[in-house]
Amino acid sequence: MARENRALPDDLIYQLTLLCGRCKEIFLAESMLLELEPPWVVVGNMHGYYDQLLRLFKRCGDLPDTRYLFLGGYVDKGRRSLDTIVLLLLRKTQYPDDIVLLRSNHEEASMTRIYGFYDECKRRANVKLWKCFMEAFNCMPACALIREKIFCVCGGLSPELTHFDQIRQLTRPTVVPDSGLLCDLVWSDPHAESGWVENDRGVSYCFGPDVVQKFVESMGVDLIVRSHQVAIDGYEFAADRKLVTIWSIYNFKGEIGNPAAIMRVSEDLEVKFEVFDRHSP
């Protein structure tokens, strides 16, 4: 890929359209709710921080020896969204069983028009390529279950979700709707109050510790893993440690000074967190 802000040659743009098409096929062959066996490295939002993604791969290990589960949030906000998503899609075609790419609210046309990916595609390539990425995003899986005990999702829970078959039965290709199950999975957030309340984002809901407890009991899971919000210490537990938020970009926007984190899930489902920043080896 060309350096940041450089226009891509026509032959490369064509190859990227083919890459998007191939990934559509791979995503559609996967379940909307992936059922996985450990081990995995679980990664939170990357948002176009391409250099940090490269460092993360170097730090945590190369595919396929290290297997990665990304929770979504690949594009927008950062300066190199195009490079970031291309690298991840390439890895998906090379190692389809060893890298999982879940969908977030930013893998959606309306969000990319606001937060930068559309403009980057238009500047470095063309709108046609952007549309190809949107078509691939519309086929991404929404959630994953690691050995039936660790539920992975970008956003959070939904008041509509009472059985995992509801996720499996979601049809694709699809845009993220303004409400409903898929919307909540990529948009909702935990909060400290009980029950369900409207989300300050203007979309979906916030859910309380009681909702988390009911979910883990009724669904038979031990832990909910999500991203979608900056965790000021890299990761943050809630709901009596039944839910954890992981954020994998350090010094987000160059002003927060936060560390990043990833979560390792071992073959026996032991969970360990690694926290790092720009000074970490």
Asked if the structure places residue 201 within a domain, the reply is: yes
Q: Is residue 5 part of a domain?
A: no
Q: What is the residue-level pLDDT of the chain in tens, covering all 281 positions?
A: 555 668 999 999 999 999 999 999 999 999 999 999 999 999 999 999 999 999 999 999 999 999 999 999 999 999 999 999 999 999 999 999 999 999 999 999 999 999 999 999 999 999 999 999 999 999 999 999 999 999 999 999 999 999 999 999 999 999 999 999 999 999 999 999 999 999 999 999 999 999 999 999 999 999 999 999 999 999 999 999 999 999 999 999 887 789 999 999 999 999 999 999 988 87
Considering the candidates 47, 106, 191, 228, report the single residue annotated as catalytic: 106
Asked if the structure places residue 29 within a domain, the reply is yes
Whether 1 maps to a domain, the answer reads no
Is 281 contained in some domain? no
Kindly state whether residue 4 falls inside one of the protein's structural domains.
no
Does residue 3 lie within any of the structural domains? no
Spatial neighbors of 173 by CB under 8 A, at least 6 apart, are 24, 28, 135, 138, 139
Range of the domain at 57: 10-276
279 is catalytic: no
In a domain, 227, yes or no: yes
| CATH code, 155 | 3.60.21.10
Question: What is the number of domains present in the chain?
Answer: 1
- Confirm if 86 and 124 have CB atoms less than 8 A apart: no
